[in-house]
Amino acid sequence: MTLSYVPDDTLAHRLDPRSKLLFQVGFAAAAYAYTTPRGLVVLTAVAAAVLGLAGGGPRSLWSYRFALPFLLVAPLVAGATLGDPWFRTDRAFETSLASYRVLLVLAVAAAYVRSTPVRDSRAAIQRTVPGRAGVVLGVGVALVFRFLPLLTHDLRTTREAIAARGGDRLPVHVRMRLVATAGINRAFERADRLGVALSARCFAWNPTLPPLAFGRLDGVVLAVSVGLLVVAVV
On whether both 56 and 108 belong to a single domain, the answer is: yes
Q: Say what the pLDDT of residue 199 is.
A: 67
User: Residue 215's Cα: distance from chain center in Å?
Assistant: 25
Residue 4 placed within a domain: no
Residue 5 placed within a domain: no
> 125-159 pLDDT, tens per residue?
878 777 777 766 776 666 666 666 677 777 778 88
Q: Say what the pLDDT of residue 171 is.
A: 83
Q: Range of 135's domain?
A: 123-200
State how many domains the chain has.
2
Residue 112 placed within a domain: yes
User: With a threshold of 0.75, does the pTM exceed it?
Assistant: no
On whether both 42 and 100 belong to a single domain, the answer is: yes
Mean pLDDT of 54-76: 82
Q: Say what the pLDDT of residue 23 is.
A: 93
Q: Say what the pLDDT of residue 160 is.
A: 83
Residue 83 placed within a domain: yes
Torsion sign across C-alpha atoms 97, 95, 232, 37: positive
* pLDDT above 80 for 209: no
∠ CA 227-230-233, nearest 5°, is 150
On whether both 107 and 217 belong to a single domain, the answer is: yes
Residue 1 placed within a domain: no
Q: Say what the pLDDT of residue 227 is.
A: 92
On whether both 185 and 216 belong to a single domain, the answer is: no
On whether both 18 and 81 belong to a single domain, the answer is: yes
On whether both 169 and 142 belong to a single domain, the answer is: yes
On whether both 25 and 65 belong to a single domain, the answer is: yes
